[in-house]
Chains A and B, each alone.
Chain A
């Protein structure tokens, strides 16, 4: 079964660096043993002025954020909590290693862009309804909001790409090792 996830949709802007996995999904919910059960708790402890974890997450597919997203605990509950809320892409200046690997291991995308491009996304699109489409084959990100639109290039390593295409590391490793 090789079904790629949906990488096209509305954008949630999180204007902060070092958002850790305790903020993405607090440890008190790690007693859950299904991914679906994490759904109401995504970003419940996020420290970000004006952020409402019930309203702001609705219908979003892409997160755009700053540096070192997903630092701290190794909990894959963090990508899962995003996934069960329909968020399959995080675009950031940089990621913590374990979180980044967990995203690709789940067939999700953790895309790094240079600081200037992230700044540009926040400056030009944050605050207005924005859509992003990610084309994995062409390695392009299509950003649009009302009249505004642009196309950004991104880099995807060979291993990351194959994990996304094969629906994650378990499928890949099971076929190969």
Chain B
């Protein structure tokens, strides 16, 4: 099957006064139509930057996007001119941002902001766009949508604003929705509602969703595939259950080990990953995770591991020693076993 999107060797760099920041370092993967992909990693690992690079929303200069291709819908997004990439934004790929408090313009009504994209891409007139905006607000579950259409963003609560943002993103029925930590700023109850909403809409509309988050718990239940990112690299990729149950990369293991689990014996210590992510200016020559890894050996310092198939098809990991790694050895290695 022809994939919906194929990214190969995407590099995103920022040329700053202190040097070149290598935010994304040659990542490649494909997404199928209707797939839900989770992208996880800690702050600054390049999750958001890689998503913004797909839509070419990086400011150039100081930024630089360099890839063999970002294939989407039969063409290379990097080769499109300004007018054509703008037609992709919103219409084929839509985005929902992290902070619902600041991602709506305070001087316009919510209804107007939702209908804006419709008037832009679907050539609707004001009345049609307003009707559609009303439908969309109903779709995302905002009560009394007709009244709420003429409200300003400050009259919405955080969860409602995020719903409105989702309505805005869905307005042109995109093929891919990029959700950039859409629930981070919300409390847990609302978080669950938003996730449920997106999963429902994904199934109803059949679009693909890329869910970017630092919370492994969120993507566990919704994502088909998961990319684990570290320092701008994809260090492990596979089906969600493989990532959780046949974890191969010590970093992913560390991330999972740092989550409290309900089925664990009381008193079990959480594993923490020592140290900090490497400076993205002047990355180490070998494995980016070398300095923090409990399994490191001389080879890891000198040679950077590449993604290779680990066990089952589609499960890839970038680690020299993936065969020797499991949760028990990690526990022993960090001395957290109790």
Whether chains A and B associate is: no
Which A residues contact B (CB, under 8 angstroms)? none
